[in-house]
Amino acid sequence: MKKSLENVREKCPLVHCITNYVTVNDVANALLAIGGSPIMADDIEETSDITSICNALVINIGTLNQRTIPAMFDAGKTASQLGHPVVLDPVGAGASALRTKTALEIMEKVKPQVIRGNISEIKTLACGSGFTSGVDAAEQDAVTEENLDTAVAFVKEFAKNTGAVIAVTGKIDLVSDAEKCYIIRNGAAQMSRITGTGCQLSAICAAFAAANPDDMCTAVAAAVCAMGYAGQLGVLKMDQKDGNCALRGYIIDALYNMTGDKLSQGAKYEIR
Amino acid sequence: MKKSLENVREKCPLVHCITNYVTVNDVANALLAIGGSPIMADDIEETSDITSICNALVINIGTLNQRTIPAMFDAGKTASQLGHPVVLDPVGAGASALRTKTALEIMEKVKPQVIRGNISEIKTLACGSGFTSGVDAAEQDAVTEENLDTAVAFVKEFAKNTGAVIAVTGKIDLVSDAEKCYIIRNGAAQMSRITGTGCQLSAICAAFAAANPDDMCTAVAAAVCAMGYAGQLGVLKMDQKDGNCALRGYIIDALYNMTGDKLSQGAKYEIR
Amino acid sequence: MKKSLENVREKCPLVHCITNYVTVNDVANALLAIGGSPIMADDIEETSDITSICNALVINIGTLNQRTIPAMFDAGKTASQLGHPVVLDPVGAGASALRTKTALEIMEKVKPQVIRGNISEIKTLACGSGFTSGVDAAEQDAVTEENLDTAVAFVKEFAKNTGAVIAVTGKIDLVSDAEKCYIIRNGAAQMSRITGTGCQLSAICAAFAAANPDDMCTAVAAAVCAMGYAGQLGVLKMDQKDGNCALRGYIIDALYNMTGDKLSQGAKYEIR
């Protein structure tokens, strides 16, 4: 984990983000905080130029539209040809037919190296059966200590079928390739009261994947631990009058101050 | 007022926001802070799907464009058919022909349950005669202690003509249906130096309306008091080096920490 | 410099911003902080209406697209006809053919009064030879104490050829018309770890230019000093746990609290 983060800080990967306009500013600052560099571009006339000068691509389908969807495919194709890691964040898959269909098509045509979403989104993509609460996971779908074995098996299977590293985030996070699954218990409940921690994490995953091409599963697990641990540090910093807006800033600041050593100490995971 | 807020926290309404990209992140965090849940979607291919899984819709015409305008109508129509409250925020009505025309058409075709704007925007919609200073109200239009009776009569009349709850916000806020008018004296002058408190309020009004279908006028008044009181608490928290960016965060955090009891104590209003 | 800022606070220029969706919220809050007023509008159906009620226009090509590019030209044409200052921020010129081409066309057809960018962007526009690191300047291009004379000559020449005030920002900032060049040593290295300080500055330059039509070069230099000095004050305020997100807020807050006297004391520049 330590080395994964240090590689990000050393290589400073430039990440092309096609991402929603709700959380885009936090995505950019979170990437800068962790040691990467963001560039946002979503018009098909420039996506392949921009992808070419970058080291990774994140496709986030929140606020997708008829203009940006073709750009997602175009950028994805270019990134694949260049061997850049592509991260798919299927925001709200299951909440609309357009989102579900677009996410499935991106999986099929772009073959992203990493897919990160909440459990409802991932279930929707894996078997068309996720519940949804808009852009949040439905409680019925939640990964818990009780259903953990089943959830791990499900995620490994989906990783195998897609050839991607799968990151399912929630109270318990799972990061898996076909062989192994990281079970991560970082994070804090209050993070669900902030918009955009998931989007930030997906972009950070792209930076970690780009900086650690030889072991993307560990790199993505490190990114998930970093985000979750930053959330814990953020909550610790909160005082009585602070709320979700203060916490949002504390988390990005904790990413900014995260070192390989801190991450090693704070990361809380097991591998199955 | 207490009950109105408590209903929001209990029911956690999912609010479909078609809103401008300037303040969208703050809108999302403000909704989460007050106990609602946001989803942003503005493409016509998914608007009716998204509206269907939500409890309310807010249409904010800041940064409207040819792609999003049809989505506003489509979402509005779907929400109306489903009986979901629709809030219209006519940002900058009067500042361009496109904004004025679009707002008037939304009023006519969608018949929103709530319209929230500054006095210049509301005057533009009511009688085509508002002044404008871009997205801020013009001083000539301001509601003051001197013209209060006239202003109250005007807002009641507009509420009657539209069948909507009208919320006019400024130094003095007015919230009215055809029968009664809340005159609200919460808020702080410094709020006008932050972008987006109006947009946040409109989205919060949607959450309050959805959680309190039996008395939307009181619910909207409670939302206006909550936002204004949060502004006062935010100003109280400011130190010498703080500015509008700190205040912006303090206000959202004050919404996060707002309880029914605090709101009851802090709300400052009379009914005429 | 003092007078330039005081004019902004007194006249409160309304600035029409066609700007990217990544940093747009910070742009709006920074404009409000410095004493201006923002309005964002990027649809061609309303751009000329909006431009007409404003005092200045900033065209920022980050996240440009096929829908907004025609609006940039339309707004630019209207602003020129009305004699409003136009600021061009060629974000990422050199990073894609679309950005380079669009920026060059805006220069040719709109003839902006002010062009503000990093050295790689400006070199790309001046001679097609800038390097690029996405939206950041490439190290090979950097203005340093060693190459300062050459850089000053280059910027003066470009100002002469374009008829615009040129502001090149980086470790050392240069602001020049054909006659003289301000060499500015405000700012702090940590600002490069925040997204959007450049975008904010471009919008602020528009406010300064509008409020100081008789000496735009000094006005733009004052804006650059104000932003850089705010950056220094922001860094001074940082504690051990703060990161780029805290700093981002401190800078806008420092702009909010900036006075003519503070700016006079803090501005660090020479004229060549």
Question: Best interface-test mutation with B: which of C8, C15, C20, C25 has the largest number of B CBs within 10 A?
Answer: C25
Instruction: Determine whether domain B2-271 maps to CATH 1.10.3720.10.
Output: no
CB-based contact B245 C256, cutoff 8 Å: yes
Looking at residue A139, its pLDDT comes to 82
**Closest residue of chain A to C196, computed from CA coordinates:** A25
Residues from chain B contacting residue A136 (CB–CB below 8 Å)? 37
As a whole number of angstroms, the longest Cα–Cα distance in chain B is 51
pLDDT-wise least confident of A144-148, A197-201, B91-95, B128-132: B128-132
Query: Could you tell me which chain A residue has the CA closest to the CA of B13?
Result: A133
pLDDT value at residue C138: 81
State ipTM. 0.96
- All structural domains of chain B with their residue ranges: 2-271
Q: What is the pLDDT of residues A17-73, one digit of tens each?
A: 999 999 999 999 999 999 999 999 999 999 999 999 999 999 999 999 999 999 999
- Report CB contact under 8 Å: A249, C245: yes
pLDDT computed for residue C135 by the predictor = 76
Q: Residue C56: how many CB atoms within 10 A of its CB?
A: 27
Contact C25 B99 (CB under 8 A): no
**pTM as predicted:** 0.97
What is the β-pairing status of strands C165-169 and C173-176?
antiparallel
A253 touches chain C (CB under 8 A): yes
Find the CB nearest B46 among A20, A99, A195.
A99
pLDDT at B135: 76
Question: Which pLDDT tens digit goes with each residue over C54-103?
Answer: 999 999 999 999 999 999 999 999 999 999 999 999 999 999 999 999 99
Residue C124 has pLDDT above 70, yes or no: yes
Nearest CB to A22: which of B24, B53, B252?
B24
| C22/A40 CB distance under 8 A | yes
Q: Which two tokens stand for residue C182?
A: 């301000």
Q: Is A246 on the interface with B (CB under 8 A)?
A: yes
| A contacts of C133 (beta carbons < 8 Å) | 14, 37
pLDDT above 90: percentage of residues in chain A: 94
Smallest Cβ distance to C49: which of B23, B96, B243? Answer: B96
The number of residues making up chain C comes to: 272
pLDDT of residue A128: 80
Per the structure block, which two tokens stand in for C252?
């806008």
Closest B-chain CA to A25: B25
Q: In chain B, what residues touch A103 (CB-CB under 8 Å)?
A: none
* pLDDT at C88 (0 to 100): 98
Q: B63 and chain C: CB distance < 8 Å anywhere?
A: yes
Rounded Cα distance between A116 and A106, Å, is: 13
DSSP 8-state class, residue B192:
G
Tell whether A189 is within 8 A of chain B (Cβ).
no
In chain B, the residue whose alpha carbon lies closest to the alpha carbon of C236 is B241
User: Looking at CA atoms only, how far is residue A259 from chain C in angstroms?
Assistant: 13
Yes or no: say if B33 and B253 are a contact pair by the CB < 8 Å rule: yes
Task: For residue B134, give the nearest of C37, C43, C45 by CB distance.
Answer: C37
pLDDT tens digits for range A229-239: 999 999 999 99
At C212, which amino acid appears? Answer: N
Taking CB atoms and an 8 Å limit, are B98 and C49 in contact across chains? yes
Chain C CB contacts of B245 under 8 Å are 29, 33, 248-250, 252-253, 256
Residue where the block lists tokens 């290589």: A11
C60 touches A: beta carbon within 8 Å: no
What mean pLDDT is reported for chain B? 96
Nearest chain B Cα distance for residue C68, angstroms = 10
pLDDT in tens, B196-234: 999 999 999 999 999 999 999 999 999 999 999 999 999
Which range has the worst mean pLDDT, A116-130, C51-65, C100-114? A116-130
Predicted confidence band of residue A130 (pLDDT cuts 50, 70, 90): low
Interface test with C, best of B68, B105, B139, B241 (most C CBs within 10 A): B241
Smallest CA-to-CA distance from A112 within A78, A82, A76 is with: A76
Residues of B in contact with A100 (CB under 8 A): none
**Whether B252 contacts chain C with CB within 8 A:** no
**What per-residue confidence (pLDDT) applies to B164?**
98
For Cα atoms B175, B142, B251, give the angle at the middle one, nearest 5 degrees.
60
- What is the pLDDT at residue C130? 67
Structure tokens at A237: 């910093």
- CB pair distance less than 8 Å for B195 and C14: no
Q: Does A262 touch chain C (CB under 8 A)?
A: no
* C53–B95 CB contact, under 8 Å: yes
Q: Do B257 and A246 touch (CB under 8 A)?
A: no
Say if CB B156 and CB B117 are below 8 A apart. no
Helix locations, A117-272, DSSP H: 119-127, 148-162, 197-211, 216-237, 244-256, 260-266
B149, pLDDT greater than 80: yes
Interchain CB distance below 8 Å, C134 and A37: yes
pLDDT number for residue B130: 67
Which of A104-108, A113-117, A141-145, B129-133 bottoms out in mean pLDDT, i.e. has the lowest?
B129-133
Closest partner CB to A98 (pick from B43, B237, B248): B43
Tell if the CB–CB gap between A14 and C134 is shorter than 8 Å: yes
CA angle A27, A33, A37 (to 5 degrees): 65
Q: Which of B63, B98, B134 sits opposite C45 (nearest CB)?
A: B98
- Nearest CA distance, A246 vs chain C (angstrom): 9
Contact map slice: A 16-35 vs B, CB within 8 A: 20-23, 25-26
Q: What's the rounded Cα separation, in Å, for the pair C223 and A163? A: 52
- The angle, 0 to 180 degrees and rounded to 10, between the axes of the packed helices A2-11 and A24-34 is 100
**Whole-angstrom distance, CA of residue A208 vs CA of residue C243:** 20
With an 8 Å Cβ cutoff, are A256 and C62 in contact?
Answer: no
Q: What is the 3-state secondary structure (H, E, C) of B46-99?
A: HHHHHHHHCCEEEEECCCCCCCHHHHHHHHHHHHHHHCCCEEEECCCECCEHHH
